[in-house]
Structure 1
Amino acid sequence: MNNLGRNLALWVSIILVLLLLVNMFQPGSAQHTAQQLAYSDFVADVDAGHVRSVVMQNHNISGTLKDGTAFESYAPDDPSLVSHLVSKGVEVSAKPLDQDGSPLLRYFLNALPILLLVAAWLFMMRQMQGAGGRAMGFGKSRARMLTEKHGRVTFDDVAGIDEPKAELQEIVDFLKDPQKFTRLGGKIPKGVLLVGPPGTGKTLLARAIAGEANVPFFTISGSDFVEMFVGVGASRVRDMFEQGKKAAPCIIFIDEIDAVGRHRGAGMGGGNDEREQTLNQMLVEMDGFESNEGVILIAATNRPDVLDPALLRPGRFDRQVVVPNPDVSGREKILRVHMRKVPLAADVDPRIIARGTPGFSGADLANLVNEAALAAARLGRRTVSMREFENAKDKVLMGVERRSLVMSDEEKKRTAYHEAGHAITAVLVPESEPIHKATIIPRGRALGMVMRLPEDDRLSMSRNNAIAHLVVAMGGRVAEEVVYGKDNICNGAMGDIKMATRVARSMVTEWGMSEKLGMIAYVDDDQGGGFFGAQNRNFSEETAREIDEEIRRLIEDAYEQARNYLHGHVDELHRLANALLEYETLSGEEIRQIMRGQPIERAEEDEKGPINRRASVPQVSAGEERPAPFVAEEGSQTVPQPG
């Protein structure tokens, strides 16, 4: 807004100056109507006595005739002209050349070109700086100091990560009272590295340290150091630490430090030299010959494995604080923090929401609360109820509902049987996570989904749990085969097959859960591979053939188990599919009631208020059906990787 105002004022000033100049040099109305006379005609009029008065300004002559007509003429160098005019009775007056302008105006007009050049140069420089060019300041640090206008953040605003907060409390105490530690020979830590998955609150935690200690807080991204010009990044590192020394004690926060702190020697020449020079300068500034007393460097990354070892040694980043995803208690605390500004209904229980969101980060929970508030606002409600939170959780986990998707009755029926097969196997397999919800409402790219949630946070996976994932994944395809026959199955199980193949391959090649191939890691995921990444093979073709055979055996065994479960519960399969066709979405408890043969009752809302309805199960018979054109997956079921 300030730049816009300055630019507008500059252009208005230029336009006013131009208008002034035009007005100054514009001839008057009398001059515009003056008659131009040749000198010979002028002399003839003088001899004839027609001229009343003249004004002489050097060789320029202007005047009026006796009939009132104004005229102008130009006289040659004639010394006898004045005496001739006087003899004819003409009133003669003279003017010097500089009579029409003041000295100040003359000086201004002479300096005007220089002033315009200086103004144009200043304007271009300001435009270059505003566009980020910074032609005169490539080596200046881009660190920004957060002030009170950005909002002060304290540890009260950070919830769910009590252990990292307790470890960082010592940094706050040191900044507040350094003599408490220095009198015993202790030194303030030079660097703190915050490590954790995205969205766990690393940046918020760094701001909370500065807020608690009430010290200046500089923030910069790792990518802000590296430029296409060699040496710029190192210059910016030096300038950043110089700013920190002037404001000491202070905190400098570098977000995504892996952009500049990767292993050195990974490449030769090019832009890699600039990145390595920047890293070398940072290493020197953190633990070089010059001391940086009172300057604490806090960095955050979710890729600590790619950082240079010299950056992680004591004396530089003295402490590495792991900021993990919160547990159920931490999620409840985070939800309560984000719910402070949200008017809640009486039925909202953060504990229940926390139990239903395993694996959620702090950012995911903030998004959940925001989605619930937006949903309540769209409905015109004054408070946010538990129903909005459940819908928001389903939206985050499974995607947005696609109620506008037109599905035929046959496709809905096939989808209902497919999801009923997943739900029944999830209930019957003992090692499976409890089923949370089943729906045939299209979400994302899936026509229907079955969501399972563990009762507690699970950090590891047993072999029985992995086999249960395979059996549940095969339940949808088996249900289609039981109802429609083996020749009438469709492509709806494509997502299930992919997920089952990933789990089985990890069991064989990474987790050592194959009796035939033993406890050997057959993949190398040090360079970005892993469970969902590209894996590097380090085994022979014969071993690859055995791995493929073992994966096929695990999936086929799971398929046979799912077939045994569903062939023994065909009646439950029909009842559950019919209920899904009627209600479209069923909770885990409702699914178990239907499998026990009990009717379900639920209170639904219409425009007039809540109404009670008892589930009536229409009879549908299995028949042939054309394949569905969309992919029906199990949905948001994820497989945790052992940590």
Structure 2
Amino acid sequence: MNLRNLAIWGVIALLLIGAWSVFTQGGGGVGKAGGATSGLVSYSDMVNKISTGGVGKAVFTGDKIEATSKDGKITWITEAPSDSRGPLVTALTQTSTPFVYHSGGGNILLSLLFNALPVLLLIGVWIFFMRQMQGGARGAMGFGKSKARLLTENKNKVTFEDVAGVDEAKEELAEIVDFLKDPAKFQRLGGKIPKGALLVGPPGTGKTLIARAVAGEAGVPFFTISGSDFVEMFVGVGASRVRDMFEQAKKNAPCIIFIDEIDAVGRHRGAGLGGGNDEREQTLNQLLVEMDGFEANEGIILIAATNRPDVLDPALLRPGRFDRQVVVPNPDVTGREKILRVHMRNVPLAADVDVKTLARGTPGFSGADLANLVNEAALAAARRNKRMVTMFDFEHAKDKVMMGAERRSMAMSEEEKRNTAYHEGGHALVAMSVPSADPVHKATIVPRGRALGMVMQLPEGDRYSMNFVQMTSRLAIMMAGRVAEELIFGKENITSGASSDIKAATNLARAMVTQWGYSDELGTVAYGDNQEEVFLGHSVARTQNVSEETARTIDKEVRRLVDEGHVEARRILTERLEDLHTLAKALLEWETLSGEEITNVLKGVPPVRDDLDKQMPLGPSVSVPISPRPDTATA
């Protein structure tokens, strides 16, 4: 920074010196002539004036020649190089006119400076850009250097107290921290420090947050880098950065290196694409060698995070490299409660806010989802100019996070509203009538996101599996919207609003047949390739492991299960046709009904809504969208 300022001031000084020289040289004749008027003349005119005896004195200054008249009132100026002054000097000698030479050394120096100025400027610009590109030996001249940053969290320090809902992962990593603080405790029983820990879990579960907590707890140097920082267009740069990173770590051992999104560099090798010499494979090979190669790296623990462990190379996952694979899952109800309390520390809460109810009402939410929920609730309260965040704000935020913002400005025709009301009413009635289903939490015909309406069901607790009755009940619920349109408007007036329901029902039925063994004809056999995505370096093509006859049987069984759900939904809605009309009319009038209000409406009791914050009675648990009715434009 000092050198840059010095160069800038040097350029400014040169410009000022040049300007001063120009002005002083331009006014030199006037000063010497004692205020006489001056004018530029040609060289031949100057010779003629001297030859005729009209000049009293001549002064040679560099290439400039000043001649003053005998009365001293007029000064003539001309320019001539030294090798062409012969006629002028001869005329001065013949007329005995006095003349003198002034040294032009200063002007020569200034001339040299001005001639060198463009070169100096180019050199200065080149030095400036090279320093910018290098960026502290990490740019154009140092692209082989590691980009790992030494993390010092004196401000906004994160500890294990800030991490909630993942107790098992905290215990695994807390043991690593304990080892770094007191290695003798483990070594006296023959224990060795783990080489690496791989954090595995869905996006948003807090893998990076746990790593930051380790940095805050360990009290040792903590280097952090992203997997994409190793990838460059130059072959060998990634491997060079890996070497440099471990060299830095050795100098600071014991220490921790954290690589976020390691799947960017640790993908499975051996796809045969690009040969075995591509940049990513070389980087991975160097990482494998550094972690557990010929030379041991004592006191260096590597922590990495990924949400795609299935694409990682097996050599990276073996003991001795990543000794521990720490699963960081979506939190359960107890974990969600703890996470919500962490994020609510700085939020003023009203007395009606029940954190346990919110935790029960958000199954499947990750830590990032819960943080977003609290933030949206605070923003909603601020928009209403409230001093505290109420339970209604959290309910509103939950709907917004799960379904999108309300689109009340969307112009829907009365016919479309009526069709949507019967569609969602069909979902709600069948959900309340099938043998095994979660209770209905809310039904709405207010457009949200891409959906024109939605029915949400209320799970009574976290669920990790489903039985056959629950699956068939779910199929009936999914088909209920389409059946309601058929019964009320006729097949010729069915809309495309059930497209997402049909797709979801088909996917569920196919999984029942091909993955879960719910078909007597196909038996308990898994069919098809269940790989969801294809990654270079892992698989380049899907494999078809079913015959054409089996594929026809699968399609037949899927059709049978979906049709059975359709028949069950038609039976229920035919028996409760009057209830369907009653519920649809209530939805048209009130637009949004809670599960309790739906039950009361079917008993003939209309909803009571006195205050905005009490328009939606809060249930004891969560709303989970079952099958939104999409816009007909996007269906």
Question: TM-score, normalised on structure 2?
Answer: 0.88
The reply on whether 1:589 has 2:593 as its aligned counterpart is: no
2:21 to 12, 19, 24: 24
2: distance between equivalents of 1:355 and 1:601? 26
2: distance between equivalents of 1:20 and 1:70? 27
Q: Residue in 2 aligned with 1:409?
A: 414
Q: 1:297 offset after TM fit, Å?
A: 0.3
Distance 1:10 1:488, change over 3 A: farther
2: distance between equivalents of 1:570 and 1:460? 33
2: distance between equivalents of 1:628 and 1:365? 26
Distance 1:180 1:51, change over 3 A: same
Question: Which residues of structure 1 form unaligned runs of 5+?
Answer: 614-626, 634-643
Q: Residue in 2 aligned with 1:570?
A: 577
Query: What do the CA deviations read for 1:237-287 (whole angstroms, capped 9, x no partner)?
Result: 101111111222221111111121122212243586222211111111011
Q: Residue in 1 aligned with 2:620?
A: none
SS at match of 1:159: coil
2: distance between equivalents of 1:418 and 1:295? 60
Q: Residue in 2 aligned with 1:348?
A: 353
Q: 1:379 offset after TM fit, Å?
A: 2.2
The reply on whether 1:62 has 2:72 as its aligned counterpart is: no
Q: Residue in 2 aligned with 1:601?
A: 608
The reply on whether 1:95 has 2:99 as its aligned counterpart is: no
2:246 to 234, 241, 263: 241
Question: Which residues of structure 2 form unaligned runs of 5+?
Answer: 31-36, 535-540, 618-628
SS at match of 1:160: coil
Query: What do the CA deviations read for 1:532-577 (whole angstroms, capped 9, x no partner)?
Result: xx97532111111111111111111111111121122222212211
Instruction: Say if 1:401 and 1:442, in contact at 8 Å, map to a contact too.
Output: yes
2: distance between equivalents of 1:628 and 1:213? 50
Matches within 5 A, 1:121-520: 121-129=126-134, 134-148=139-153, 151-269=156-274, 273-520=278-525
SS at match of 2:198: strand
Q: Residue in 2 aligned with 1:555?
A: 562
2:57 to 46, 53, 60: 53
Distance 1:110 1:61, change over 3 A: closer
When structure 1 is superposed on structure 2, of 68-77 and 210-219 the one drifting more is 68-77
Question: TM-score, normalised on structure 1?
Answer: 0.87
Query: What do the CA deviations read for 1:50-102 (whole angstroms, capped 9, x no partner)?
Result: 434332347753132215111124542677666556x5xx664431232556x
Distance 1:567 1:146, change over 3 A: same
Instruction: Say if 1:59 and 1:76, in contact at 8 Å, map to a contact too.
Output: no
When structure 1 is superposed on structure 2, of 330-339 and 71-80 the one drifting more is 71-80
SS at match of 2:203: coil
2: distance between equivalents of 1:132 and 1:486? 72
Q: 1:131 offset after TM fit, Å?
A: 13
SS at match of 1:71: strand
Q: 1:489 offset after TM fit, Å?
A: 2.2
Instruction: Say if 1:523 and 1:535, in contact at 8 Å, map to a contact too.
Output: no
One-letter identity of the residue aligned with 1:491: S
When structure 1 is superposed on structure 2, of 415-424 and 565-574 the one drifting more is 565-574
Q: Residue in 1 aligned with 2:86?
A: 76
Instruction: Say if 1:449 and 1:632, in contact at 8 Å, map to a contact too.
Output: no
Query: What do the CA deviations read for 1:458-486 (whole angstroms, capped 9, x no partner)?
Result: 11111111111101011111222222233
Distance 1:17 1:581, change over 3 A: farther
1: distance between equivalents of 2:630 and 2:330? 38
Instruction: Say if 1:207 and 1:217, in contact at 8 Å, map to a contact too.
Output: no
2: distance between equivalents of 1:40 and 1:549? 113
1: distance between equivalents of 2:360 and 2:44? 111
Instruction: Say if 1:159 and 1:333, in contact at 8 Å, map to a contact too.
Output: yes
Q: 1:453 offset after TM fit, Å?
A: 3.0
2: distance between equivalents of 1:275 and 1:629? 44
One-letter identity of the residue aligned with 2:228: S
Instruction: Say if 1:493 and 1:631, in contact at 8 Å, map to a contact too.
Output: no
Q: 1:196 offset after TM fit, Å?
A: 0.7
1: distance between equivalents of 2:616 and 2:378? 27
One-letter identity of the residue aligned with 2:57: S
1:115 to 117, 120, 128: 120
1: distance between equivalents of 2:413 and 2:420? 11
Q: 1:425 offset after TM fit, Å?
A: 0.8
2: distance between equivalents of 1:47 and 1:119? 52
One-letter identity of the residue aligned with 2:503: K
2: distance between equivalents of 1:332 and 1:184? 39
Q: Residue in 1 aligned with 2:38?
A: 34
Let me know the Cα RMSD of the aligned residues: 3.1
2: distance between equivalents of 1:171 and 1:48? 105
Distance 1:37 1:225, change over 3 A: closer
Instruction: Say if 1:445 and 1:630, in contact at 8 Å, map to a contact too.
Output: no
Q: 1:598 offset after TM fit, Å?
A: 3.1
1: distance between equivalents of 2:574 and 2:408? 32
1: distance between equivalents of 2:360 and 2:482? 30
SS at match of 2:485: helix
Distance 1:84 1:487, change over 3 A: closer
1: distance between equivalents of 2:415 and 2:630? 9
Q: 1:517 offset after TM fit, Å?
A: 1.4
Q: 1:330 offset after TM fit, Å?
A: 0.3
One-letter identity of the residue aligned with 2:66: S
Distance 1:38 1:324, change over 3 A: closer
Q: 1:107 offset after TM fit, Å?
A: 7.4
1: distance between equivalents of 2:432 and 2:125? 76
2: distance between equivalents of 1:494 and 1:472? 14
The reply on whether 1:522 has 2:520 as its aligned counterpart is: no
Distance 1:128 1:238, change over 3 A: same
2: distance between equivalents of 1:326 and 1:550? 36
Distance 1:91 1:552, change over 3 A: same
Instruction: Say if 2:147 and 2:225, in contact at 8 Å, map to a contact too.
Output: yes
Instruction: Say if 2:349 and 2:388, in contact at 8 Å, map to a contact too.
Output: yes
1: distance between equivalents of 2:526 and 2:333? 32
Distance 1:510 1:39, change over 3 A: closer
Q: 1:612 offset after TM fit, Å?
A: 12
Q: Residue in 2 aligned with 1:630?
A: 632
